[in-house]
């Protein structure tokens, strides 16, 4: 594979926090779908409150860069499993139905959940997608960070998130990649309730690879004439969140045709190299209680001490006119976009 060059929009960040209380702190990790000649963006938003919650906002664009956002959240917590929010939506269209895979977070455990819609504005929640999935028994390895260094932390409770549903049935079956730290494959008969393989589909690689600490599912796979193009997150020991890619067999998604040796996109710009990142010491609980000026100083301190994660996190991608448009959260704080030619990505 030759070197991939993504072109960032000169309008990045394309969406930032506003004065609206529900989105005045952070916007990030958007899912996207292209429908009726428009880009429909579904993003995670957090307001600066003591008991923070993530909600899902909605914005629409004709050109993929200039978005008009809805003034109120599209989806908000509505049960005990969503007490602390709805996180990282990914959108897939199959036949006449849109499927949203998101993490319902109660403050302790994220649970991959599904919602469906016919029009992208009214959504029906269906609850947990993987009720019988047990992270550790299925080969999961929980990674945490201390003083900027990764370490393995025992994890026995439920833990499922980051669901990327394939945009079409394969052998009359729905397929999905999901997971954080490891990536698993799951199948379904209805797209609502899923059965996961009990062994990881993709794991980190040792040595100096960009994904040598853990991996996480990215946007829904994209169908190409060479196979299913899968964009995934690779995290290294220095807390760089970069994108890699796979090609999977069109008829048997369990078969990996290609895995990129190098990352195809990663943090480079100032807005990607620093921000109020969730996994910093103290997490959101600490970040939201710091005054604005103190927060700036705190972030500078994290940079100096090597505790600042560098994050480009992508939950949405659109293929249009042989050009891949990715939408990503930068520094867990703002939303950005970049493009690359599909031919460059598939070239080897």
Give the mean pLDDT of 100-125: 97
Q: Which domain holds residue 157?
A: 7-346
pLDDT in tens, 242-296: 999 999 999 999 999 999 999 999 999 999 999 999 998 888 778 878 888 899 9
Q: Does some domain include residue 123?
A: yes
pLDDT tens across 32-52, in order?
999 999 999 999 999 987 678
What value does the mean pLDDT take over residues 44-61? 91
Strand duo 184-188 + 180-181: pairing: unpaired
CA dihedral for 97, 119, 84, 151, sign (positive or negative): positive
Does residue 143 fall inside a structural domain? yes
The answer to whether residue 2 sits within a structural domain is no
Q: Above 50 in pLDDT, residue 240?
A: yes
Enclosing H/E stretch for 304: helix 292-305
d(CA 239, CA 216): 13
Average pLDDT, the chain: 94
Structural domain count, the chain = 1
Is residue 94 in a domain? yes
Q: Per-residue pLDDT tens for 174-220? A: 999 999 999 999 999 999 999 999 999 999 999 999 999 999 999 99
Q: What is the mean pLDDT of residues 300-314?
A: 94
Contact 110, 90 (CB under 8 A): no
**Does residue 13 have a cis bond before it (omega within 30 degrees)?**
yes
Mean pLDDT throughout 213-229?
97
131, 122 Cβ separation under 8 angstroms:
no
**pLDDT at position 1, please?**
44
Q: What is the pLDDT of residue 50?
A: 62
CATH number at residue 322: 2.115.10.20
Closest CA relative to residue 92, chosen from 329, 317, 338: 317
Residue 1 resides in a domain: no
Q: Would 205 be classed as within a structural domain?
A: yes
Q: How far apart are CA 122 and CA 75, in angstroms?
A: 9
191 contacts 165 by C-beta, under 8 angstroms: yes
Whether residue 60 has pLDDT greater than 50: yes
Percent of the chain with pLDDT over 70: 98
Closest CA to 239 of 338, 316, 144: 144
Looking up tokens 């867990």 gives 332
Among 33, 79, 32, 30, CA closest to 53: 79
Range with the poorest average pLDDT among 19-33, 79-93, 288-302: 288-302
- Predicted pLDDT of residue 147: 83
pLDDT number for residue 314: 98
pLDDT of residue 4 exceeding 80: no
pLDDT of residue 127: 96
| pLDDT the model gives residue 135 | 94
Task: Provide the pLDDT for residue 167.
Answer: 98
Residue 22 CB partners (closer than 8 Å, separation 6+)? 45, 47, 55, 57, 72, 73
> According to the model, what pLDDT value does residue 3 have?
66
The predicted-structure confidence for 144-179, as pLDDT tens digits, reads as follows 888 888 999 876 678 999 999 999 999 999 999 999
Residue 189 lies in a domain: yes
Residue 134 lies in a domain: yes
Alpha-carbon distance 100 to 78, whole Å? Answer: 16
């Amino acid at each position: 594979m030759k070197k991939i060059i993504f072109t960032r929009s000169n309008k990045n960040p394309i969406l930032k926090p506003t004065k609206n209380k529900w989105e005045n702190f952070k916007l990030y990790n958007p899912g996207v779908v292209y429908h009726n000649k428009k880009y429909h963006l579904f993003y995670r938003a957090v307001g600066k409150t003591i008991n923070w919650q993530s909600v899902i906002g909605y914005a629409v664009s004709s050109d993929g860069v200039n978005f008009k956002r809805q003034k109120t959240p599209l989806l908000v917590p509505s049960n005990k499993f969503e007490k602390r929010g709805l996180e990282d939506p990914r959108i897939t269209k199959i036949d006449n139905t849109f499927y949203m895979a998101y993490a319902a977070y109660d403050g302790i455990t994220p649970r991959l959940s599904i919602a469906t819609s016919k029009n992208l504005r009214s959504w029906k929640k269906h609850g947990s997608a993987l009720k019988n999935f047990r992270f550790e028994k299925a080969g999961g390895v929980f990674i945490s960070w201390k003083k900027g260094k990764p370490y393995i932390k025992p994890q026995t409770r439920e833990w499922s998130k980051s669901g990327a549903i394939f945009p079409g049935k394969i052998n009359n079956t729905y397929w999905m990649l999901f997971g954080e730290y490891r990536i698993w494959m799951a199948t379904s008969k209805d797209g609502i309730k899923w059965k996961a393989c009990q062994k990881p589909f993709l794991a980190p690689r040792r040595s100096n690879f960009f994904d040598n600490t853990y991996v996480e599912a990215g946007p829904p796979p994209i169908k190409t004439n060479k196979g299913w193009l899968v964009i995934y997150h690779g995290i290294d020991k220095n807390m760089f969140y970069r994108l890699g890619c796979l090609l999977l067999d069109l008829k048997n998604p369990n078969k990996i045709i290609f895995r990129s040796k190098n990352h195809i996109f990663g943090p480079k710009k100032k807005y990607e190299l620093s921000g109020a990142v969730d996994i910093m010491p103290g997490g959101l609980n600490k970040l939201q209680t710091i005054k604005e000026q103190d927060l700036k100083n705190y972030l500078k301190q994290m940079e100096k001490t090597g505790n600042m994660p560098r994050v480009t996190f992508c939950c949405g991608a659109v293929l249009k006119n042989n050009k891949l448009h990715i939408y990503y959260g930068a520094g867990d704080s703002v939303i950005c976009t970049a493009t690359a030619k599909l031919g460059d990505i598939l070239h080897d």
